[in-house]
Every structure is written in C-alpha cells, then in structure tokens.
Amino acid sequence: MKRTTLSLDEFLEGFKTKNRSVLARAITLVESENPEHQALAQELLQKILPATGKSKRIGISGTPGVGKSSFIETFGKFLTAEDLTVAVLAVDPTSKVTGGSILGDKTRMNELAIDPKAFIRPSPSGETLGGVSRRTREAMLLCEAFGFDIVLIETVGVGQSEVSVAEMTDFFMMLLQPGSGDDLQGIKRGILELVDMVVVTKDDGDNKLLIQKARHDYEQALHILRHEGWTPRVRTCSAIEKTGIDTIWSDINHFYDDQDNQIKNKRQSQLIQWMDQLVKDSLIQNFMSAVGIDQINKFREHVKSGKITPYQASQELLKLFTK
C-alpha cells in the first residue's frame, strides 16, 4: 500500500511535537525522487532552515571490519548517557548495489537502536554519490531542526564518500585498525588531510603493543600533514573494555570550544561549495544526457588512440550539446 505523504503543516506540527515517525517520513520525503515529493521536500527544508545549525556534526569513516558499528554503538550510548540526543545517518555509495549496506541492519547497534534518545537512519539509496550526499545533507538538516544535539554521519569510505562526509560535517574522524592491512599505507591519498581525529580501534587484549606503534606512526603522519589551527589528535579506544570514549568526547568538545569561529566559517564555505557543486553536477548531467554517453565514449576512444587532440574532441562534443 502506497502511503500518502503528510502535508507541510502536518510535517511542521510533527516537528514541533517531536514526533519521531514524522521525522522518519520527512526524511523519506527528501529521499523520494517523485517530483511532487521533491517540491514539498524543498518547501519543508525552506521552512525548517532557521531552526538548523545547532547540532554538532560529526563525520565517522572506517572500512568494514574496523569496528565502526561497535564504536558508534558505544559512542552513541555514551552520549545519550550524558543526556544528549543523537541522530545517526550514513553516506554509503555502495547502497545502490546492496540495497543499503550501512546501518541497513539496525541490529548491528542493538542498544542504540532502542535508545529513546537516539535515532538511526539507514543510508539512502541513489544512483550517484552526489544524490546520496544531497539526501544525507538534507536529512541532517531535518534532524537538526528536530532538535538532535549530535548528528553522526558515517561512511565506509568508498571512493569520494569520505570527502563528501568531511564536507558536510564540522569534525571528521577516521577509525583505523592496525595490523589488518588497514595501516597508513592503506589510507587513500588526500584523506589524512581531511581528518580531525584518528581513532585506533580495538585497543584491548593482545593488541596493545601494536597499537602503541600505530598511534605513534599516525601522529607522525598527521604532524607532517598538519592543518592550520587544529592539530588532529590520535586516540585509541576499545568497545569491549569501554575505554577511550571519554577522551574522544572531551577532545571533540575542546574542538568546538576552541574553533568556534573556524566552524562558523567552515559551515558557510561548505554551503557555498555545496551550491557550486550542485550547479556543476547539474550542468554536467545536462550535458551527459543531451550528448549521450555513447558519443562521449566515442570521442574518449578517439582521444585515447591519438586520433584527435583533447581540445578538438571537447569542441566537437560541445557543438553536439549546444546544437
């Protein structure tokens, strides 16, 4: 049975009364590709915009197996125990294939999933990372307007998804597990430079020595690539022994206290970047659908084999577009 959507007023009323199911339906609305839903979604976003911006936006990246779910579960429970409300969202470019691999199975976070102070939402599916990112950004705004203190946005870090999460959050942390092929050499180019904190997971039992070494290596690397302003921290934690989370949280608070102005500026440039990116994406998308991938590939082949110069090919393609 197809559910009819709520009206704008019903959505706004639901937000006022903190009705979780209305939040869930609002997120479904922004995720919908139906043009009518999209129009309503944009109206809703416009209405709630003044109420956004009050949450701490924290990005969490980590490859599968690093212990990301356990970390988010432990961290999330820590936060709700501090009487904070937490929304967990995801940017997962693989979800179009698997039908939602991140957070798709809420049982990965047993306790957090049933915590009344927490709200977990699986990754939206979508054809492009751009589409997935946009929906997650919009879901973030909805969660903020709804009143969540913290929004955690997780990603598996496939392709550009880490960059994308770093570009929508204030604080970007990367989870790493040493000795699992997940050491520094395994980190994709450019990612370490986005990182505000590295968290070395599974700091328990026999791992302790290995982890000390890893921590030292990461600190060295982050020092080499050090950012202006905030010096990225390297912390360790154990979901089993429940250690390390308090330090991580106090670092994050320190970051927010210390970098107040920078965060404001960062958010403003993120907004402008986002607008610019959406314009570029649309221009390219319009070009692609007008010219067609077959034509483009044909010219790519000609260029690759040295038949024509890239400049000539680009001019030909643009002629096809403006025609």
Q: Which residues bind its own copies (CB under 8 A)?
A: 42, 45-46, 49-50, 52-53, 134, 138, 141, 184-185, 189-190, 193, 217, 220-221, 224-226, 268, 271-272, 274-275, 278-280, 282-284, 287, 299-300, 303-304, 306-314, 317-318, 321
Instruction: Read off the tokens for 23.
Output: 């939040």
CB of residue 317 to its own copies, shortest distance in Å: 6
Instruction: Read off the tokens for 292.
Output: 């067609």
DSSP state of 160: T
Q: What angle do CA 156, 157, 158 make, to 5 degrees?
A: 100
DSSP state of 243: B
Smaller CB separation from its own copies, 66 or 142: 142
Smaller CB separation from its own copies, 108 or 298: 298
- Alpha carbon of residue 106 to chain centroid: 18
| C-alpha distances in Å from residue 4, one per residue of 1, 17, 29, 145, 148 | 9, 21, 11, 23, 26
Smaller CB separation from its own copies, 78 or 287: 287
Smaller CB separation from its own copies, 72 or 222: 222
CB of residue 139 to its own copies, shortest distance in Å: 13
CB of residue 96 to its own copies, shortest distance in Å: 20
How far is it, in rounded angstroms, from Cα 267 to Cα 166?
11
CB of residue 312 to its own copies, shortest distance in Å: 6
How far is it, in rounded angstroms, from Cα 248 to Cα 60?
12
Smaller CB separation from its own copies, 42 or 110: 42
Q: What angle do CA 157, 270, 194 make, to 5 degrees?
A: 40
> Do 224 and 248 touch, CB atoms closer than 8 A?
no
Q: Which residues, in sequence order, are CB contacts of 46 under 8 Å at separation 6+?
A: none
Place of tokens 């206290």: 257
Smaller CB separation from its own copies, 1 or 224: 224
CB of residue 111 to its own copies, shortest distance in Å: 34
CB of residue 149 to its own copies, shortest distance in Å: 19
CB of residue 314 to its own copies, shortest distance in Å: 4
| C-alpha distances in Å from residue 234, one per residue of 60, 68, 137, 275, 282 | 14, 16, 27, 33, 39
Q: How many Cβ atoms from other residues are within 10 Å of residue 178's Cβ?
A: 22
Smaller CB separation from its own copies, 76 or 157: 157
Instruction: Read off the tokens for 289.
Output: 């659908």
Smaller CB separation from its own copies, 220 or 247: 220
CB of residue 283 to its own copies, shortest distance in Å: 5
